[in-house]
Amino acid sequence: MALTLWYHPLSSFCWKVLIPLYEADIAFTHREVQLFDPQDRAAYLKVWPLAKLPVLTDDERGETVPESSLIIEYLARKYPSAASLLPADPDAARPVLIRDRVADNYIHAPFFAIVGERLRDGPKDPFGVEQSKAAIARGYDALAPLIEGPWAMGETFTLADCAAFPALYYADYAVKLDEWPTLRAYVDRLKTRPSVARVLKEAEPVFHMFPLKDG
């Protein structure tokens, strides 16, 4: 196949890319990367020297595309079945991208700080964890009023939904969504979307590795 996704099934940013690939029914090869395996990491460094997941390689076009939002934009521009994920008109695309940035920068990012603290050896930083939890709550506050219908942009499933689901699903383990009923209902709707349900199903065999799973 022309497309290969370098990914790990537990990675939330990889979920963000898997969802649109399944949504648009785009054929691709799964290439699971084990970054803690020296040999596999060395092989991946040849693909992307920063060793961050995910990366999409397109052999047919000779393209290597890193970063989840850029990958989805690439799919939307190159594959007609994915075009609805991001409007071609810049003015129409801007609100989609705003929601994407809110999810990534103000929910995803502080959540990863909490995960990093859990995994860190040595002295812990409970104050830093509380700061990250407060940041996630502010992210929830910012995102909740931006959900305009069944999906983030109303009736059309977009990049914004692909970004919001993994951010909210994982952050819920750190800051429960119960005080944000709009977001809780939104996540529940997203779980019923076939592309999202498929991603969750594929992650089940490795989800025990998630460091916050047991609180």
Inter-residue contact 180 to 90 (CB < 8 Å): no
- The more confident residue out of 51 and 121 is 51
What pLDDT is recorded for position 124? 77
Model confidence over 24-39: pLDDT tens digits? 999 999 999 999 899 9
**Reported confidence tier of residue 5, pLDDT bands at 50, 70, 90:** very high
What's the pLDDT at 1? 60
Of 30, 63, 85, the residue at which a domain comes to its end is: 85
User: What does the mean pLDDT of the chain come to?
Assistant: 94
Instruction: Write out pLDDT tens, residues 171-214.
Output: 999 999 999 999 999 999 999 999 999 999 999 999 888 877 65
Residues 58 and 80 in one domain: yes
State the CATH number of the domain containing residue 36: 3.40.30.10
Kindly state whether residues 114 and 42 are assigned to the same domain.
no
- If asked whether residues 61 and 35 sit together in one domain, one would say yes
Pairwise CA distance, residues 30 & 106, whole Å: 29
Mean pLDDT of 72-81: 98
70 located within any domain: yes
On whether the CB atoms of residues 64 and 71 are closer than 8 A, the answer is no
Give the pLDDT score at 122. Answer: 73
Position 215 in a domain: no
Residue 56 has pLDDT above 90, yes or no: yes
Q: Is the pLDDT of residue 215 over 60?
A: no
What does the pLDDT average to over 72-83?
A: 98
CA of residue 34 relative to chain centroid, distance = 18
Containing structural domain, residue 34: 3-85
Q: Is residue 96 part of a domain?
A: yes
Are 107 and 182 found together in one domain? yes
In a domain, 210, yes or no: no
- Stated pTM of the model: 0.95
Tens-digit pLDDT profile for residues 91-137: 999 999 999 999 999 999 999 899 888 877 777 788 889 999 999 99
Residue 43 and residue 83: Cα distance in Å, rounded? 32
102 & 179 share domain: yes
Same domain, 131 and 187: yes
Last residue of a domain, one of 85, 114, 137: 85
pLDDT of residue 116: 83
Place of tokens 């649109």: 20
**Under 8 Å between Cβ of 7 and 54:** yes
In a domain, 209, yes or no: no
| Number of domains forming the structure of the chain | 2
Residues 117 and 182 in one domain: yes
